[in-house]
């Protein structure tokens, strides 16, 4: 792999940290054929608010010592999405409703580097992430899993809004998910040790100003990751 492609891969891993942290915890496999609910039915995004702005605290890694990070997301239906992580990385995603493809621009705000990627580019890097994953932080499980409804866990943090609890088990691991049917978003995720992995701390259903979706990249060094990967 060329140095340019390696840089693109590093950007992808950093960009998708909130999604992949959950995938590692929530991509857990019950025995084949085990009875349970379907991921697509329980965590269905249909009917979600046309606009949504939310803030998240999430753990980067596992264990009690895993550092917490901040994520802020602005979503304009299924057309546009902005994700800002620790005020250090800002990602702009454009998507055509009903089309699995999307294109994104990642701004490294500290190093002033702009990286352009597509869904196909991420797939070539082994990052199988779709629009749903980017907009919700939950990654569809790959392989057999078991999803069941359950009671609120003891000592769970108080969610920012009403939600229902589910347990997702796969590959010997289990994640507890507090899912809000009103905003179609996981409000809390706990790992199999009961440790907090993801917490939505604020929700706003009002439309974001149009300026929030503008790409402000003046003075950034531009990197076309797609060209780097294709040329590898």
- For residue 228, the model assigns a pLDDT of 62
Give the end-to-end CA distance of the chain in Å, rounded to a whole number.
Answer: 6
Domain carrying residue 76: 3-230
Query: Radius of gyration over alpha carbons of the chain, in Å?
Result: 18
Two structure tokens written together for 65: 């010592």
Neighbours of 100 (CB within 10 A): 11
- For residue 64, the model assigns a pLDDT of 62
Number of domains, the chain: 1
Two structure tokens written together for 150: 């359950």
With 0-12 / 13-18 / 19 or more C-beta atoms within 10 angstroms meaning exposed / middle / buried, residue 179 is: buried
pLDDT tens digit at each of 232 positions of the chain: 555 555 555 555 555 666 645 555 555 444 444 457 999 999 999 999 999 999 999 987 666 667 889 999 999 999 999 999 999 999 999 999 889 999 999 999 999 999 998 898 888 888 888 999 999 989 888 889 999 999 999 989 999 999 999 999 988 889 999 999 999 999 999 998 899 999 999 999 999 999 999 999 999 999 877 666 665 5
- For residue 129, the model assigns a pLDDT of 87
Contact 215, 81 (CB under 8 A): no
- Looking at the DSSP assignment, which residues form a beta bridge with residue 59? 68
User: The whole model's pTM is what?
Assistant: 0.85
Contact 173, 159 (CB under 8 A): no
Nearest residue to 158 via CA among 197, 187, 191: 187
Nearest residue to 86 via CA among 132, 51, 53, 55: 55
Where residue 74 sits, what CATH number does that domain have?
Answer: 2.50.20.10
Nearest residue to 179 via CA among 154, 217, 152, 140: 152
- For residue 208, the model assigns a pLDDT of 93
- For residue 31, the model assigns a pLDDT of 41
- For residue 30, the model assigns a pLDDT of 42
Judged by DSSP in three states, 229 sits in helix
């Amino acid at each position: 792999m060329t140095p340019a492609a390696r840089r693109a891969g590093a950007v992808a891993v950093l960009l998708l940290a909130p999604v992949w942290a959950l995938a590692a915890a929530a991509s857990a496999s019950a025995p084949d054929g085990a009875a349970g609910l379907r991921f697509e039915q329980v965590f269905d995004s249909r009917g979600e608010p046309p606009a949504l702005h939310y803030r998240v605290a999430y753990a980067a890694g596992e264990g009690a010592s895993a550092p917490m990070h901040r994520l802020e997301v602005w979503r304009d239906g299924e057309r546009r999405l902005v994700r800002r992580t620790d005020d250090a990385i800002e990602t702009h995603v454009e998507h055509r409703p009903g089309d699995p493809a999307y294109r994104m621009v990642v701004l490294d705000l500290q190093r002033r580097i702009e990286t352009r990627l597509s869904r196909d580019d991420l797939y070539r890097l082994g990052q199988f992430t779709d629009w749903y994953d980017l907009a919700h932080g939950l990654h569809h499980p790959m392989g057999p899993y078991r999803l069941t409804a359950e009671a609120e866990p003891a000592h769970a943090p108080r969610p920012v809004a009403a939600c229902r609890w589910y347990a997702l088990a796969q590959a010997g691991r289990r994640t507890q998910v507090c899912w809000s049917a009103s905003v179609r978003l996981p409000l809390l995720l706990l790992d199999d040790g009961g440790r907090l992995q993801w917490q939505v701390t604020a929700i706003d259903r009002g439309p974001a100003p149009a300026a929030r979706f503008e790409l402000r990249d003046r003075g950034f060094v531009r990197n076309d990751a797609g060209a780097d990967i294709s040329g590898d």
